[in-house]
Structure formats: C-alpha cells, structure tokens
Amino acid sequence: MNTGTKLIKAHVGAFETFRTYHSHLELRKSFFDFFQSKKHEIVKSASVIPLENDGSLLFTNAGMNQFKSLILSSTEPRRVANIQKCIRAGGKHNDLDDVGKDLHHQTFFEMMGNWSFNDAFSKEEACKFAWDYLVEVLGIDSERLYVSYFGGIEKLGLPEDRECKEIWKNIGVPSHRILPFVAENFWEMGAAGPCGPCTEIHYDRIGGRDASSLVNIDDSVVEIWNIVFMSNVRDSSGKIYNLGRNHIDTGMGFERLLSVVQNKNSNFDTDVFIPILAKISSLTKKNLKYNGSVSSQEDAVFRLVADHVRASTIAISDGAIPDGTGNGFIVRKMMRRSFLQGNSKLGIDRFGLSDLVPTVISTLVGVKNVYSEVEKSSDKIINIFKEEETQFWKTVDKAKKMFDVGANENKSSTISGRKAFNLFETYGLPLSVTIEMARNLGKEVDEKEFERCQLEAQKLSQKASQFKLPVFAKDFPTHSDKEKYSYSFENGRYAFSKVPTTILQVYQNQEKVVVLKENEKGFVVLERCQFYAEQGGQKSDIGKLLADGRNVFEVESAKKLDNGSVTVLFGRALEPIQKDLRVEQQLDEKRREGVMKAHSATHLLNWALQRSGLGNGQKGSSVDCNRLRFDYSTGDDSLDKSQRTEALKHLEHILNEFIMKGGLTSVIETTLEEAKKIKNLQSDVKEDRIGDSSVRVVTLGSGVNVSVECCSGTHVHDVSIIEDVAIMSDKSMGQNLRRIVAVTGEEAKKCREYAEKVFEELSSTEFKERNKILKVLKRNLFSETFLYSRRLIGSLFLLPIRLGYRL
C-alpha cells in the first residue's frame, strides 16, 4: 500500500464538508437535471458492444465512441450529455488483469460526460459548468479541488493555454491550485486524428493541506473531470493543424465521483458495490467479510468477482454471448475467472456464483431510464451464468482426469507448457487450475512455454478468422466442391456417403507445411470436397476426416477462397496429416439436415412475405441448424402492433399449409442471362455462383406460384421434410427494414407444444393477470425450450402469434 492510500485511510472523514450524501441513483439524476437545465440533450448510453465493424474495438471503452461521426463530419451546433457504459477488457485499453490488485481498477465503469459540437458552448462555459456542478450542486469542498491545464509544446508550435488558465482564475480558483502540465494535458484520439489541449479537475481525498505537488503524482489526489478542447488535428506525418471547428469533450468517472460525494476510500466502498460485496460474503462458506484491504488476497478476490460478474452482466444484456472469440471470449474469461477464484479463494460453492447475478442486476435496474435492457434480459443473463457455470465445472473435472494420466506418466517435476496449453485448448482448462493441480502433486508448470503456445495459437486464430491464405484455383485444377450436393433420401432419412478423397495441400500459419502435427490447428484443401463452405448466409458444414476409419482431422468450419473457387477446411489434426493422404469425409449429418430445412424454409419465408405484401425482398439472412434469421424490406409499413401480429399469424399459416401439402424441389443450372429471364424469380442474380457463367436456380414445390430463387445452398428434396416453421420474433432494424427469427422442424414442434401448455395454464387465469404471467412464460420459453444460440434469437418472442388471439 503506497503513502497516499495509507493517508486516505487515516484521514478520510476527518475533514467533513457541507456536501449532502448522494446515492448512486441521486447522483445520476442530479447530473442529468443539471445539464438539462443548461440546454443539453440527454442521450441514452450506447451499447457496450460496438456497432462499428472494428476488429480493434472489442467493447465501447469511452464516452466519445458513439460521437465519432459528429466530431469528424458534423457542422450543426449541438449540446449533448450522457452517462456511457464502458468496458475496458481486451484490446488497447485493458484493465482486466489489474482488477482486484488495487482499490480503483474496474473492467466495467460508467463515464459521465457532456459535449459541445461545433461551438455549441465555449471553453469558459465548459469550465464553469464543471465547477458549478461539483461545488454548487454536489457541495464538494472547493478547497480540495485543483485544476491542471496545458503548458504548451514549443517544438510543435503549441502554445501554453493561457486562456484556460485565466478562465479558472476568473471562476475563483487560487493561482497556486492552477497547474501547468504537458503530456498529461494534451489529448489525442490516436497517432493521427483529432486532438487538442485539455484541462482537468483533481480532488484531494485527504484535505487540509497544500496538495499541489501531488497532482498527477500520488493517488490520494485523483482526477475527477477531464475537459478536452478538440480544436486540432494531427496528420500521419505528425504535424498538428487547426481542425477548423471546435468541439469540447468532457469525461468523469461515475464510480470515482460517487466515492468522492459519499466520502469513501474507493469505488468499491460505494453503494454501487456494497450490496454486491455483501452478497459475495453470504455465499462464502466461512462468511468472509470484505475489509477493503490492498494486501489481503481475499479482498482482492472480492473485488475481482464483484467487478467481473458486473461487467459480464452488462455485456450479456447488450447482446454479448460467452464463446471462444472476440468480446465473447473476454466475457467467458471474466466469468470463468470469477467461478474459479470465488471457489478456490473464497470457498463459494461451485454452482453458487450465479446466485450473485440478481444482486448485481438489482443495483442497475433502478436506473430505468438508462439500463432498462438489464431488467428486460435479467432471466437470460441468469440462465447464461448457470449454463456457463455448469459447463465450466464439467470441463474442469474432465480435464483433471486427463491431467492426472499425463502427470502420473511424467516422472519430471515439471509439467510442460505444451501439455498445459493442450488442456486449455482442448478442454478450456485455465492455466491457473493446471498450476493448482500440479502443486498438489509437488510439481510446477512451465508457464513460459504455455505463453509461447498461447501466442502461437492467437496468431493462428487471427489469421484463420481472416482466411488470407495463399490459395489459388490454378494450383488445384482437380479440386471441386460439387460433392456437397451428393446426398439422397432413403427409407425416410437423408443419406450422406463418406466421399473418399485426397488431401491436396496442408497449411499452417498462412503457409504450406509438410505435415500438420497432432493437436495443431490448420487448413486443408481436398480434391473432391463434400463440405459446404459458408456462403449466401448458410453456415458451413462441420465434421471429420477419416483415415482407415480413424478420426484424423476435426473440421470446425469451411470457407471459400479465390473468389469462391476453392473450399478450404479449417480445424484441428487429431493425428499427423500431410499432402496426398487418402481420407474419407464424414459430415455432421444431423446438423446438415437441420441447415437444409432452415435454408429451404428461408426461401419459403421470402416467398410468403412477398405474396402477403408484408415484404418487398430479402436484405440479408443467416441460416443454421433448424434456425434462421431473415432481414427484409417493408416499403411503406403502416401496420400497428396488433395488425402485424395478425398478419404474421396468417403468414405462418400460409407457410405451414404449403409445407404440409409437400412438393418436390427442383434445381437447374443455367446461364446468368437465362436466369434473369425467369418471371417469378424472387432474388437478385448475384455473383456468388458456381463457375464463371452459371447459376443454380432452386424451385421449392410444384405449381405456378411457388418459391424460385438463385441459390448455391443445400436444400431438402421435398418441402414436407421441413415439417414446421414457427416465427419467434419480428422486429424493426431501421427504416423500412425488419428482421424475422424463426425455427423449423423439431424446434418448431417444441415451441408449439410449449405454447399449448401455456394456453392451458392461462385459460383459467383472470384476464388482468395474463400479461404479467405471459412475461414470465416468455422467459421460461427462452430457457426451457431452445438449446441454440441466444445471439440469434435475442429476447423478443412473438408468443401472441400462438396465444394472444386465443385468449
């Protein structure tokens, strides 16, 4: 613990001021009320999941993220204020590994801010707003406040910001508390782009002293407000010019300000965290208490668990799903770290940490105007936590058996990092768990080797996601993927033969290799490829490559390269494989059949939407096993909610009536020009076609008024095989654009069975109580009936399609 922290503990509360205690809800309201009175537009927080297709930004990490376009291109003056949800975990700004070690680091935090775009208010007004809010509204002792300003950089032609210094003098800040700094008070968006001088307000947590020498030096004096005067722009050569317009961007950490107005040692002592820490205490077997110590390992874990569960809750409410890539990987990492640390260090029951989630949610749902999405998705969040908990501990137990086998065979005192990494990659077992198990046997793990393996895997994963391989069709003249269409319907089921083929080339790290070793990930190109590569919205096949009946390669995905001319399989070698190896292909047949049903249903949905007048054409789709997402244009959409529900009910009836009648699927390959002449063609002729001059035209059902589309996907041979289609949600995605999510086959059947059960339960219920019960039952439908990705379904179910019109 440094000197500043010790002094805070010793003196906090010794210099009480006249300020009034604010709860976190009161602080939030006072901020909005103040800036509304200053003619600011109050803007809702953007999602923590960025809308931009930016591979470097996993989460929204600053208040200004959603305003980039206004900064760079707007011309109209505009005053804005908001409190933005931010997560700094992964990417350039990453606090993930520092949480718990001190009293202030958090992954999820809230950033209060107000903005002036295009001279909507002046520098003087910005400083006055900040000072008045802190001193007059919140009652913070002005004697504890210090301000810093930009001291100038002569070699860059940037003078001292004397205007700002004079503004603070005129406000009434004594000269000895107005301090010039250089690097600390010049803000930049990046190496190039908007930049400018800034001024900051700092608060002395101790008081009763001259702390001017401690500003930007000691953590007993903390920055609470940063005001950026965005008046410059830096070009790629490093030169700085005038931006031509003036913007002001201010930011203030909500939790830190809360600790100041509540006179607490740290953010974790405020009423945002106190209920969470108290609940963690009740979950520990020994009823451990949080004491706010930096030196205590237990207190560090208290902070880590509180922060990580809080951050994961927010991320999931905004649509993040725990998985193995992107922001989903970070969410899963935070959750698993909480499970592990909570269990091993605090003695929380293996499946007990999900009980903390309702408490976390309760600290957020009171802010209905800001985080209503947390309350709406509360059941979903809790269910995801429970599922992740169950899966994690299953993984740990399974991996432990494998660890024990390897450790007993190894007489050395060191477990290799490669073996530890294989446990991590194959079973998801965290390194910390492996280290703990090794210690129990008197052994240690080669952590440096583990880090090297992890770095190699990360590089491969990044390259794999981009699929930028040196693969060209001219190098593989015998390659073809037409075997993906080779399947038959026999004895009431689809038959997919194990197509024999030859491996034409093996790749790893974007390079050709002689052999892909056991447990290594890489790519293969086959001569006769049976696997469908992701294309036209249809997800790729997965499966296995067999050699002499042995599984030698797990196919995790398939992609098209060289303008769709070559299909490349990505996966992991279970045995060494190399070029010229003869293999048999084994698709995941159940998945392929489910995808075929969903893809054919997508075509029929497009047909039914256009036939009913609800839709004007497809704008995008995603097809997976027995589930689909379909984006469509609506033209002038004047239907209200009840009318749309009735229209969708009718549309679903048309779909299933057509499916029930049955009808064969026909596929022809024709020229591009001939395809354009087909009168009832529902789709635009696109370039993702087989070969250079042909397209596949898929017709579903018999008769004149049937679905006809250009498509390279795989389909059922008869529409009756789809069995059933159930529309789960229909929501607006923007002007004249809507999205339908639907399920097919067995999943649709489950949906209907559940709906009938709901109807029976509600039929005897008083009318006034039905809406309340329906909300609960919608959530149950989410958790009990469907086993597939929540990212696809979301949380909006059209249960009234099956129930509302009957009640």
- Cβ atoms 49, 90 nearer than 8 A: no
Whole-number Å distance between alpha carbons of 295 and 636 = 64
Q: Spell out the residues 6+ positions from residue 474 whose beta carbon is closer than 8 angstroms to its own.
A: none
Question: Long-range contacts for 8-14 (Cβ within 8 Å, ≥24 apart)?
Answer: 8/205, 8/206, 8/220, 8/265, 9/265, 11/206, 11/207, 11/208, 12/205, 12/206, 12/263, 12/264, 12/265, 13/263, 14/206, 14/207, 14/208
CA atoms within 13 A on the CB side of 496: 22
Residue 402: other Cβ atoms inside 10 A: 15
Half-sphere exposure of 617 (CA within 13 A, CB side): 8
Q: Is 715 annotated as a binding residue?
A: yes
CA distances from 213 to 154, 160, 179, 686 (A): 24, 20, 9, 67
Task: For Cα atoms 280, 282, 284, give the angle at the middle one, nearest 5 degrees.
Answer: 75
Alpha helices in 177-296 (DSSP H): 254-261, 274-283
> What secondary structure does DSSP assign to 333-402, as a single string?
HHHHHHHHHHHHHH---TTTGGGGHHHHHHHHHT-HHHHHHHHHTHHHHHHHHHHHHHHHHHHHHHHHHH
DSSP state of 649: H
Rounded to whole angstroms, how far apart are CA atoms 520 and 523?
Answer: 10
- Among residues 507, 559, 501, 548, which one has the least CA distance to residue 527? 501
Contact partners, residue 72, CB within 8 Å, separation at least 6: 194
d(CA 325, CA 537): 20
Q: DSSP 3-state helix, strand, coil percentages of the chain (rounded to 5)?
A: 40, 25, 35
What whole-number distance in Å separates Cα of residue 364 and Cα of residue 353?
18
Beta strand pairing call for 521-526 and 566-573: antiparallel
The residue whose two tokens read 């432990």 is 400
Q: Are 112 and 71 in contact (CB under 8 A)?
A: no
The angle that helices 326-346 and 274-283 make with each other, rounded to 10 degrees, is 60
Burial class (CB in 10 A: 0-12, 13-18, 19+), 217: exposed
Q: How far is CA 636 from CA 607, 612, 614, 642, in A?
A: 19, 14, 10, 17
- What amino acid is encoded at 241 in this protein? Y
Q: How far apart are CA 522 and CA 572, in angstroms?
A: 6
Task: Tell whether 479 is in a known binding site.
Answer: no
Q: How far apart (Å, rounded) are the C-alpha atoms in residues 121 and 41? A: 13
d(CA 302, CA 286): 14
Check whether 711 is labelled as a binding-site residue: yes
Using DSSP, state whether 466 is helix, strand or coil: helix
417-427 and 378-409 helices cross at what angle (nearest 10)? 140
**Annotated binding-site residue numbers for Zn(2+):** 599, 603, 711, 715
**Annotated binding-site residue numbers:** 599, 603, 711, 715
